Structure 1
């Protein structure tokens, strides 16, 4: 890879680094993550053209949830008047930072002294307290981070029988999420041995002393202490290593004797003798390590140490181990659970093939669009493209980390023509990539396609040589890799021309500007719309349709609308036959508080079939003016008996609160209308929202207890108009919404009444197929029905999101071969909730293809006025 990079983290590194890397250990998305989703539909129109439409994006925000585990229960035998040391490990299983209160309560018959139960820190989790400072809570832990504690228990000299201690870790985040262990102590006058196991990575064993990774060496110590009143004869310890660890031959030593214990002697042969004549027999088969000591006298302690290596198959995460013990063939409580964390290591790749863990190309997963040699880190397209057309480069992403990760994508233009735009789609070549790709398991790959859209004014050429750098970045670590997209095909002349319908300033041909200047300039007031009349000519050999957009975004607060010749809002020209032309308008509205000056409006269109396009650069000059206004006139279309909602903004741009003044709607005859206050500004009429006819209907609009509209504030109103079922195509009515100039009980008069009214034109006509997406949260993933909405929702890990994608044929002819495609967002997967939330389709006879990451549905032909819907559910990872 050109810039292949690696990121590695150690638990012993700086706190900020540890907190950053720990999040990757959690399967759930971190608190605050935004999950986005967008759907796509294709259909065939009456002219036989295949049209693609894209829905709105719906988003959910992941909320922080608590989670905790506590490892593990302990069973200890203890002499009267003795002490027990009980190790535990607290793990933050939530998706955000949290700390945990610690309590230990005697639960049985009172042989213990509860006041003598104390927590101490064990940060390295070796089963031995790090300091003599008592604890009542853990430090703040990042998601997935662990913290060890040791409970010291002192029992009175007259203690008998057995007793239990309930150990609890409780989340501070919500105060209810807990984890519980039960420790059992048995009082005995016989032999007792406490066994403590520790595992510590050898910092000198690997290439980076701050990293615990596959291939590193782990030092393991088994410490035994004879705390009973009698000697422990025939004492045996057996330690079966986790499958990710392998014993290092010749590494075992006994604290009571010099030299190395012999691996090959067998369990019945003596390996060493101490000064008291006690012997040890050691044995191992590489995975099981065991030793037998002839006798451990009362009050004596010692240890056996050895090493193990972390195998190459060990992914990031916790490796835990417990050793067992016997005294004279009688089982005694096992050791504590010792653990070591294999640290996160991150590596990602983007290339023309998948890349394996050793960095070599894996040709079994390769780009389908690459026209040059494989495994050269370049995806080359040699096919021709038209001016304004698209060039597709398929890349292969590989997660080379040792844990699951999600990857984000970016592109940087090298020498593609200025004005080229880029976007990424998924493996199906259609679905837009919103947010991250994944999660991808360690070693997994995914295909993505970069679509480069050439500018319409790029010079035609017989041979191109354009390049862009594509990069992918690990969500968990920030490491990245790059590759190159290269286009060497010819650039063909455009077959579409976008023009202004203004004599002398049409902008014929391919040049989007008039020698660097805008073609048309219109002056307007702040908040007042400017309308450009446009003509599009299809100079291609077949019918085509063109998606409308701005090549460059307008400043914040500006709005743009594309409208057909009949005034209806559009985002596509509709089908234009070969050699024909059509008209549309572009309505640009600056903000009400926009400063004076000039702003360029770069209008673009691109074929939804061939990818050919063109641009025109016009200009808006904003005048200096102050106004109290309602904006703006609307042109809408509706079907007979249908309902249309037109949104307007009423703004108080003065410096006096408006507490009273009539708001009137007039002008409709056979149509009927009402004006609603869109109090929450979501663009739809909610059941609680009011019909208004005066500023004094705006509850608490000025301040608490004072109705109206405060200076500088705006409200949204929705003019809902219903047409009669007998209305025929072409019938038009105009509704007028006006603000009475007499304000505040007649004590004030609007200084400029020219902007006190708007006219809404509603025409009965047919439109095209539109695609909308909605969502609600199914918190328990049990198929509970909710209310669909387009607005942002909050979701917690483990909860479900129910999506509805609705394709409506608003045209006058059937839409054939209607197919809806969608994908599960990052950190989610498609689910049927055990059969309670399976996908649903409309109309009857529709079919669906479902995987854990994608869903598509075939609805056949949808008649004018008809709908095709797909509902499905995804579950957020936890």
Structure 2
């Protein structure tokens, strides 16, 4: 029997582009998320006043739920006694970490071998098993993470017909959430060809890896196996090479022939083999502009296998990453399943440089991009500055960074301050190519092969010793963020250090800071006391002792702690960053304003003020200090006016805050002034706006359990608490009766060891008026797990909810007064991670009384209930669904 083989390269590459559109979608809340809000109601009382009230807050906690999907169904043909390899990908669709047990069960005639169904890992999801180790479950997957598996099945020699196999992945979290695929296997006596593709680097030299570098040779092998019972006629394979691969001419080899295919339409006679057939193969020329490699074999007998092998080179321009290829196959013009996805990984090749020039791919200097400050005229990896500098002045060294890796990278910069020979007190900073913009973090991203310029600015200390010929140097290092590989260069200064001609002093008696001494023997020159949040203002003098006029930029030599601010102001009070021009031999003043944060704890903070000439680079520094005093201060807000009906109860919420910077562990909290009314002050410890049974009546800061820290009662600096003042009126009260109560924080604090610094904010006055109309608003909830409109028990307590489930809310506006409340309107909104739904009509909003109307969107709802009589209520019920 004669076999015809055609091996060709098409005229053009095939490009496949996938486009993905961004779609705004609701995100499922993570397990543990809190959902909650309040409702609002407005009404008009008998006097015509519009009153607004708010409900309590109800909260629900999102629980972890399982979710899993699996792709995809397979439809494979298998010969009696043969095998099939079935890929699947499992995705964790739950809202927390989970793993999944795997199983496959035949649902039809059951013709597979009982032990012939085995799962293997395919973590990179390329359709080929990663190892020969069977598995029965996935590893733990984060929410949204995927994992691939390959199922190997074996059919007995007497198998026939078609059978379905149910493949399941079951959540370990709940044991019930299941994903199902159905693989259909058909036993066939016709032609079946399996195609396997491999890509191996340096196979000719004994290598056996898919990790490659640019310039490496990759051996690509297309192995075909006729596993059916009938011969495969007109077998065609097409392999489209990735654009990063270049075919090696003359490398094509057919397994049935000793001589290589010659790329010139010549014929090749195969070697004999132990079988009844001989074969020949023809080859035709490769089109070097194309990327398609294909061959045709006119006939492959059952049981015969063979391969076509050729080589390709990884282009030097190939970026790091995976190169994937899939070959397709046909038998007698009928498409058969494609090959596995073969891949090679272009290895991460990292190299970086920092030098006085760019560095090319061969490691040589490329002077077309060179340092603009290098004075030595050599490409020697050293940036030399020879110009003179003043005490406190700056020295600039421009370096060139080159990313010599095969992928985009970011580079960090460092100075070895342990080995540098610059004077003690020298500060270093890096700026970008513009010579101005500070570099914070990494430089980049820098594309493979690209170079960028950076400048190292060394600022000498103002007390650096003058010298006619300095010899300072520092090692500068750049490091790849992606790999950690690094390179070093040297910043050298050989100019003179000139005596400073500018002096920065404190403008106080004695001119503290005169000369080049930034500190007073290591201590600050002047220490200014202040309170938290209170600015400190002091004057400074700049003396231009040079021969020409100059101006000086103002800054902090060392940053202040977070929350602190600094301002520089001229003599007229305007904000400045520069002194303006100061004539030679003259001086000028400016003001420094330092403000600590409102919550600053007691203690000293150094303020290191620096100035530097914008012309000559000369500069000076002064170190002062600001000490923040201990401040004891508590406050309570705000005065309130509330309405109550005879015999009614009214709750008024106040906030107590420790605005000082010392913990308050003891201090009386008093209420006084009520006569016929009665009241008590409760600590709303959980901050839910209502008095819970476990919450305490308090009369002292030491009632605040663990308020400062574990085991320490009280109120920490900067902390606030909510307190609820509950007042009950006697049933004999008549409309218009008023009583006032004053809640006072005693200014004597911490067992009389401290006094409140500002007692003017230590009291609030609550005014309670008996009125005939009074609306109280309450909110309740229950979980409608199936979003079916099922009736539940309403509660104010915290509930648990799962993504996709529903929460039914009820808002009740009750007239507890003695006269009608008109124009009652209830307003509410869907909390975060939810939207208002009607469950297909089964959980639409419910309104009481009859005749009430509503306006509803997916995010807001309001209802108009008209007039509510004394003792009656208006109610709104609606449902929200949690996103999934």
Is this contact kept in 1: 2:667–2:748, CA < 8 A?
no
Q: TM-score w.r.t. structure 2 length? A: 0.55
Q: Which residue of the partner structure matches residue 542 of structure 1?
A: 549
Contact 1:123 1:147 in 2 (8 A): yes
Q: 1:324 aligns with which of 318, 321, 328?
A: 328
**Structure 1: which 5+ runs fail to align?**
1-67, 632-647, 663-694, 718-739, 760-878
CA shift at 1:594, angstroms? 5.9
Matched, 1:430 2:439: no
| 8 Å CA contact 1:652, 1:711 repeated in 2 | no
Aligned to 2:372: 368
Seen in structure 2, the aligned counterparts of structure 1 residues 417 and 129 have a Cα distance that, compared at 3 Å, is: closer
The answer on 1:482 being equivalent to 2:481 is no
1:298 pairs, out of 289, 299, 302, with 302
Deviations 1:586-611 (Å, cap 9, x if unpaired)? 7597997668xx98664433345543
Q: Is the contact between residue 653 and residue 711 of structure 1 (CA under 8 Å) also seen in structure 2?
A: no
Q: Deviations over 1:740-797 (max 9, x none)?
A: 99745989775344854899xxxxxxxxxxxxxxxxxxxxxxxxxxxxxxxxxxxxxx
Contact 2:202 2:219 in 1 (8 A): yes
Give secondary structure in 2 for the equivalent of 1:346. Answer: coil
Q: Is the 2:88–2:149 Cα contact (8 Å) retained in structure 1? A: yes
Corresponding residue SS for 2:212: coil
State TM-score, norm by structure 1. Answer: 0.55
Task: Tell whether the 8 Å contact from 2:200 to 2:209 is kept in structure 1 after alignment.
Answer: no
- 1:359 is aligned to 363
- SS of equivalent residue, structure 1 residue 345: coil
Instruction: Please name the residue that 2:782 is paired with.
Output: none
Q: How does 1:148-163 map to 2 (within 5 A)?
A: 149-152=149-152, 159=161
Contact 1:271 1:282 in 2 (8 A): no
2:716 to 713, 716, 723: 713
Corresponding residue for residue 46 of structure 1: none
Between the aligned partners of 2:169 and 2:447, the Cα distance in structure 1 is 33
Matches within 5 A, 1:588-737: 602-608=608-614, 610-617=616-623, 628-629=632-633, 650-651=659-660, 653-654=662-663, 656-657=665-666, 660=669, 711=714, 713-715=716-718
Equivalent residue, structure 1, for 2:447 = 441
Check conservation: 2:539, 2:589, Cα contact below 8 A: no
1:244 CA displacement? 2.9
2:231–2:300 CA contact under 8 A, matched in 1: yes
Are the counterparts in 2 of residues 743 and 749 from structure 1 also a CA contact under 8 Å? Answer: no
1:3-62 CA-to-partner distances (Å, cap 9, x unmatched) read: xxxxxxxxxxxxxxxxxxxxxxxxxxxxxxxxxxxxxxxxxxxxxxxxxxxxxxxxxxxx
Runs of 5+ consecutive residues of structure 2 not aligned to the other structure = 1-67, 636-656, 672-697, 721-741, 762-884
Q: Write the mapping of 1:53-72 to structure 2, written as runs, cut at 5 A.
A: none
The equivalent position to 2:384 in structure 1, one of 366, 373, 380, is 380
Deviation for aligned residue 1:400: 0.9
Size of the aligned set, in residue pairs, is: 601
For the Cα contact (< 8 Å) 2:513–2:525, is it kept in 1? no
Question: What is the alpha-carbon root mean square deviation over aligned residues?
Answer: 5.8
1:222 aligns with 2:222: yes
1:269 aligns with 2:278: no
* Deviations, residues 121-179 of structure 1 (Å, cap 9, x unaligned): 24685835632514554676999x99764344678956469x99999999x9xxx9x9x
Q: Determine if contact 2:385/2:495 at 8 Å carries over to the other structure.
A: yes
Could you tell me whether the CA contact under 8 Å between 2:160 and 2:188 is conserved in 1? no
Instruction: Label 1:526 to 1:614 Cα distance change in 2 as closer, same or farther (>3 A).
Output: same
CA distance in 1, matches of 2:452, 2:111: 59
- What SS is found at the alignment partner of 1:84? strand
Counterpart in 2 of 1:469? 475
Aligned to 2:49: none
Distance 1:500 1:705 in 2: 41
Residues 99 and 137, structure 1, Cα contact 8 Å, conserved in 2:
no
- Alpha-carbon distance in 2 for matches of 1:142, 1:377: 49
2:71–2:181 Cα contact (<8 Å) kept: yes
How far apart, in 2, do the equivalents of 1:139 and 1:443 lie?
Answer: 40
User: Does the C-alpha gap of structure 1 residues 365 and 182 become closer, same or farther in structure 2, counting only changes over 3 Å?
Assistant: farther
Q: State whether structure 2 residue 390 is matched by structure 1 residue 389.
A: no
Q: Do the aligned residues in 2 keep the contact of 1:225 with 1:300 (CA within 8 Å)?
A: yes
Q: CA deviation at 1:404?
A: 1.1
Residues 675-699 of structure 1: CA deviation (Å, up to 9, x unaligned): xxxxxxxxxxxxxxxxxxxx9999x
| Aligned counterparts of 2:358 and 2:699: Cα–Cα separation in 1 | 65
d(CA) in 2 for partners of 1:196 and 1:488?
67
- 1:353–1:126: structure 2 CA closer, same or farther, 3 Å change rule? farther
In structure 2, what is the Cα distance between the partners aligned to 1:401 and 1:69?
Answer: 39
* Residues 758 and 649 (structure 1), Cα distance of their counterparts in 2 relative to 1, 3 Å cut: farther
Q: 1:348 to 1:519 in 2, by over 3 A?
A: closer
In the alignment, the residues of structure 2 paired with residue 711 and residue 576 of structure 1 have an alpha-carbon distance, to the nearest angstrom, of 55
Please give the alpha-carbon distance, in whole angstroms, between the structure 1 residues aligned to 2:564 and 2:626: 12
Indicate yes or no: 2:347 matched with 1:339.
no
Question: Which structure: larger Rg?
Answer: 2
Which runs of structure 2 are paired with 1:153-302 in the superposition (5 Å)?
Answer: 159=161, 189-202=189-202, 205=205, 212-247=212-247, 259=258, 261-263=260-262, 266=265, 268-276=267-275, 277-279=277-279, 281=281, 283=283, 285=286, 293=297, 295-302=299-306
Note if contact 2:118-2:134 (Cα within 8 Å) is conserved in structure 1: no
Displacement after TM superposition at 1:341 (Å): 1.0
Shift, 1:422, TM fit: 1.8
* Structure-2 change in CA distance of 1:151 and 1:219 (3 Å): farther
- Matched with 1:818 is none
Q: 2:203, 2:219 within 8 Å by CA — same for their partners in 1? A: no
Deviations 1:546-574 (A, max 9, x none): 3132x4567x7895745648897967364
In the superposition, relative to structure 1, how do residues 520 and 705 fare at CA in structure 2: closer, same or farther (>3 Å)? closer
How far apart, CA to CA, are the structure 1 residues paired with 2:491 and 2:339?
A: 57
CA contact (8 A) 1:573 1:584 kept: no
Aligned residues of 1:123 and 1:130 also touching (Cα < 8 A): no
* CA pair 715-616 structure 1, distance change in 2 beyond 3 A: same
Give the 3 Å change call, closer, same or farther, for CA 123–580 of structure 1 in structure 2. closer
283-292 or 228-237, larger mean C-alpha shift: 283-292
**1:384-423 pair list within 5 angstroms:** 384-413=388-417, 414-423=420-429
The 1:499–1:379 alpha-carbon spacing in structure 2 relative to 1, beyond 3 Å, is same
CA-CA distance at 1:518 after TM superposition: 3.8
